[in-house]
Amino acid sequence: MNHVITALVENQPGVLARVVGLISGRGFNIDSLNVAPQPDATASLMTIQVLGDDRVLEQVTKQLNKLVDVVKVSDLTTKSFIEREVVMLKVAVPTAKRGELRDLVAITGAEIVAVQAKSVVVSMVGDRKKLAEFVELLKQFTILEMSRSGVIAVSSDEADRETTKRKTSPSKRGGMTK
Amino acid sequence: MGFFIVMAGARGVKETACVVERVKMRSGAKCIIDSLEQAGVTTIFGLPGGTVLDLFAELYHSPIKFVLSRHEQGATHMADGYARATGRPGCCIATSGPGATNTITGLATANMDGVPLVCICGQVPSTMIGNDAFQEADTTGISRGVTKHNYLVKNVDDIPRVVAEAFYVATSGKPGPVLIDVPKDVQQGQTKVDRMPDGVPAMRGYRPASTGHPKQIVRLAEAINKAKRPLFYVGGGVIAGNASQELMAVVRKAQVPVTTTLMGLGSFPETDPLSLRMLGMHGSVAANHAVTECDLLVSIGARFDDRVTGKISEFAPGATVAHVDIDPSTISKSVGVDIPVVGDVKLVLAALLDQVEAKERTDWLKTIAEWQRDFPFGYETSSEELLPQYVVEQIYRATQGKAIIVTDVGQNQMWSAQFFKYTAPRTFLSSGGLGTMGFGLPAAIGAQIGKPDDVVFNISGDGGVQMNFQELVVAVEHELPINVVILNNGCLGMVRQWQEMFYKKEYSGSQLGQSGRGENEGISSSRSGYLPDFVALAKAHGAEAERVSARSEVADAIQRAIGSKRTNVIEFIVKGDANVYPMVPPGASLTEMIHSMS
């Protein structure tokens, strides 16, 4: 099953290696990984998307919790959560087809973020399903480059909030997703 | 978080105080040694080198006793043996590069068995890290998987905090090794940070469990009270958690029989009628039958290792399984658990005592007594040759069971477990999880240094003892009355046994260099094929040494060794093809025990 795991960790060198080492050491491939600071800059949140056996991943979550630099681990897959991801695509579009691309972008709620002589950069925010559909649609043009942020997620479970509550001052880097 | 505030406060105080008295600057190296002293370290094992010269310069002026090993692996095992024997954290020092990489096996050994160690490694100067500098290795990277936690200290001001955290992490929760990597320039840097902060370091990512959940303890007590055939399966956690007395109290009251793992030997006296002794692959018939027949299995500080469970699907098939452990990640790892209790075993057992009912359990204990009577550990006594089991029995007899037995790994380890009855915690020291050959001799040195008044025996095979034999000089140098027993069967015995049983008797790679050994049983003083000549080798290291090959000489030789109060090596020339029985073949269920090859 596809799992989305978040880990609140100390914002220190070596922590990423510990977390990733624990997961990869068991033969799991990490599909996406996002790390960004928290409002309290001494902590970071990792969001890890990984495919694997539920029982083994439960063990992985327990092991992650044991790491001294890991403050809190949640396997969001076991509860309700909201996810977003950003994709940016550089697409080669002949001038004649630019109108078509613009329409597509408008309909899907994506955004044109840069226009160059022979290419256009578009971006979109959404869940994995929405992004996958969008990328599929864009395949009618020539995709030159694609970059995705990896899934980020928050639990929509009320009970989960009290343990992670922090000052909700807007994070400066939060702008990265928009 | 709170911790940083405290630190800031402490600095603030110091700075105010500076107005009155001069700022006391210390080097990073001095700061480390001061912090170790403050942490209660009295002995450090290790070996110097380029990047720890500053540390050694400070150590020279410290009251801490330094024990120079001849190999860094030896130093880590010594610190490990010291920690296992005393219950206090062991401490060792190594230099960067090869020094640090040599500690890895020792750290992994301690990590698997939950032994508290703090290992300090030198590192090349910060500015040179990553440049392939001389004697550089990515120590924190390499040791990550074999330590409970590790640190690379980049700022000299962090030293007291890091050392305080290291000792706290090493000794709390499920104990384990912590490595601190300190670049040379950090050791040479100056700091005015004061001594280590007192009290428990506040670490938001590390909060080990303490008391078990009261409701779970109630459930466990009810299960014990209700069970007709309960069994306690006790592991090293009871020893690490110093919970033997609490265990005894519960066992006495509820009359629950006890089997222990290899690591749990000594947690409950094996001379007690309620002791079923060790379970698992080479465990007792009574223990393995009891596991299979019980209706409630309570694991206490054990982790359902594959050498214990055999075939998982047939392990304790009819039993409700309860698991008391301080480490939540061990719960339901391999065997599904019905009643998990996450907490310190000492506290959980203490809480349990009031809630369990006094019982008699006549029928269950009678069945067990019959198994114990009918299937004790035994061996073929008709052999003309000297048998290794006999040697272990004679050590038990000579010491009356009052000795610290430090084993190596393999057959010697299993025979030491089977033919010596352990009655006190911290008297059986062995590399259980990692199975590190070469552990025994250096660990015995550490144990004897930590417990100078105890009789210490190291029981090794001729294979494993060669892996760290160089450390024998350390025992001689420090005049340690260790008795090193080499059960010389001329082969890597456990490997040979598996080859005999499962690999068509093709002894590939398991025969040690002793050509013509068979006809040299009544060995004279000539070399006659013994490679190495352990007696000569031991003497070259300055130890007393003798070779025994006759049954009739065993008891006297052991008495002589104990009586001499010197470092002794006794080489026993034992039957080459003696096997460890009973044996549960790998992957089989615990009741499918092999009792002999015939």
**Pairwise CA distance, residues B68 & A159, whole Å:** 55
Q: Answer whether A17 sits within 8 Å of B141, measured CB to CB.
A: yes
Q: Answer whether A63 sits within 8 Å of B329, measured CB to CB.
A: yes
pLDDT of residue B521: 42
Same domain flag for A32 and A87: no
Strand, coil or helix: what is B142?
A: helix
Residue A158 lies in a domain: no
- Average pLDDT score over residue span B561-579: 95
Query: Does A167 reach chain B within 8 Å, measured CB to CB?
Result: no
Domain B214-374, what architecture? 3-Layer(aba) Sandwich (3.40)
Same domain flag for A100 and A140: yes
For A42, the closest chain B residue by CA position comes to B1
Nearest to B363 by CA among B227, B223, B260, B248: B227
Residue A28 lies in a domain: yes
Same domain flag for A6 and A75: yes
Same domain flag for A24 and A68: yes
| Residue of A9, A66, A71 to mutate for B, most B C-beta atoms under 10 A | A66
- The residues of B carrying an active-site annotation are 72, 134-135, 184, 494
Six-digit token string for B517: 């050994």
The CATH number of the domain holding residue A112 is 3.30.70.1150
Same domain flag for A36 and A102: no
* pTM, rounded to two decimals: 0.91
Contact B141, B201 (CB under 8 A): no
The CATH number of the domain holding residue A54 is 3.30.70.260
ipTM: 0.82
**Pairwise CA distance, residues B291 & B308, whole Å:** 10
**Pairwise CA distance, residues A34 & A23, whole Å:** 15
Six-digit token string for B282: 């080479």
Query: Does B141 reach chain A within 8 Å, measured CB to CB?
Result: yes
Render pLDDT for B92-114 as a digit per residue (tens, 0 to 9): 999 999 999 999 999 999 999 99
| Residue of B147, B204, B303 to mutate for A, most A C-beta atoms under 10 A | B204
* CATH 3.40.50.1220 domain position(s) in chain B: 214-374
B388-573 belongs to CATH 3.40.50.970: yes
Same domain flag for A75 and A6: yes
- Average pLDDT score over residue span A7-33: 91
Q: Answer whether A69 sits within 8 Å of B205, measured CB to CB.
A: yes
Mean pLDDT of chain B: 92
- Residue A178 pLDDT more than 60? no
| Residue of A46, A60, A68 to mutate for B, most B C-beta atoms under 10 A | A68
Render pLDDT for B143-201 as a digit per residue (tens, 0 to 9): 999 999 999 999 999 999 999 999 999 999 999 999 999 999 999 999 999 888 888 99
Q: Minimal Cα–Cα distance from A147 to chain B, Å?
A: 29
Residue A125 lies in a domain: yes
Same domain flag for A16 and A70: yes
**Pairwise CA distance, residues B330 & B334, whole Å:** 8
CB-based burial label for B154 (10 Å; 0-12, 13-18, 19+) = middle
Backbone dihedral angles phi then psi of residue B308, each to the nearest 5 degrees = -95, -45
Domain that holds residue A31: 2-79
For A63, the closest chain B residue by CA position comes to B329
**Pairwise CA distance, residues B424 & B401, whole Å:** 9
Residue A178 lies in a domain: no
**Pairwise CA distance, residues A169 & B482, whole Å:** 64
Render pLDDT for B222-280 as a digit per residue (tens, 0 to 9): 999 999 999 999 999 999 999 999 999 999 999 999 999 999 999 999 999 999 999 99
Q: Minimal Cα–Cα distance from A107 to chain B, Å?
A: 45
Same domain flag for A22 and A64: yes
* CATH 3.40.50.970 domain position(s) in chain B: 25-191, 388-573
Q: Minimal Cα–Cα distance from A3 to chain B, Å?
A: 19
Query: Would you tell me which CATH number, out of the four given (1.10.10.10, 3.55.40.20, 3.40.50.970, 3.30.70.20), belongs to the domain B25-191?
Result: 3.40.50.970
For B327, the closest chain A residue by CA position comes to A66
ω into B452 cis (within 30 of 0)? no
Backbone dihedral angles phi then psi of residue B106, each to the nearest 5 degrees = -65, -40
Q: What single DSSP character describes residue A170?
A: P
Six-digit token string for B287: 């223990």
Which chain B residues touch A67 with a CB distance below 8 Å?
149, 205
At B380, the pLDDT band (50, 70, 90 cuts) reads: confident
Q: Answer whether B141 sits within 8 Å of A66, measured CB to CB.
A: no
The 3-class secondary structure across B386-447, one letter per residue, is CCHHHHHHHHHHHHCCCCEEEECCCHHHHHHHHCCCCCCCCCEECCCCCCCCCCHHHHHHHH
- The helix (H) or strand (E) run that includes residue A92 is strand A81-92
Query: Does A117 reach chain B within 8 Å, measured CB to CB?
Result: no
Which chain B residues touch A42 with a CB distance below 8 Å?
1, 4
Query: Does A66 reach chain B within 8 Å, measured CB to CB?
Result: yes
Six-digit token string for B304: 């359902």
Q: Tell me the CB-side half-sphere exposure of residue B596, using CA atoms within 13 A.
A: 6
Residue A133 lies in a domain: yes
Alpha-carbon distances, residue B584 vs B265, B420, B501, B533 (angstroms): 19, 21, 12, 35
Percentages helix, strand, coil for chain B, rounded to the nearest 5? 40, 15, 40
- Residue tagged 């009891």 (tokens): B290
Query: Does A61 reach chain B within 8 Å, measured CB to CB?
Result: no
Residue of B145, B149, B327 with shortest CB distance to A68: B149
Query: Does B378 reach chain A within 8 Å, measured CB to CB?
Result: no
Mean pLDDT of chain A: 86
What is the domain count for chain A? Answer: 2
Query: Does B346 reach chain A within 8 Å, measured CB to CB?
Result: no
Same domain flag for A60 and A88: no
Residues with Cβ < 8 Å from B275, sequence gap 6 or more? B257, B258, B259, B260, B268, B269
Same domain flag for A59 and A93: no
pLDDT of residue A57: 86
Residue A166 lies in a domain: no
Alpha-carbon distances, residue B188 vs B7, B64, B154, B372, B507 (angstroms): 22, 20, 12, 62, 54
Same domain flag for A91 and A71: no
Q: Minimal Cα–Cα distance from B398 to chain A, Å?
A: 44
Strand, coil or helix: what is B152?
A: strand
At A78, the pLDDT band (50, 70, 90 cuts) reads: confident
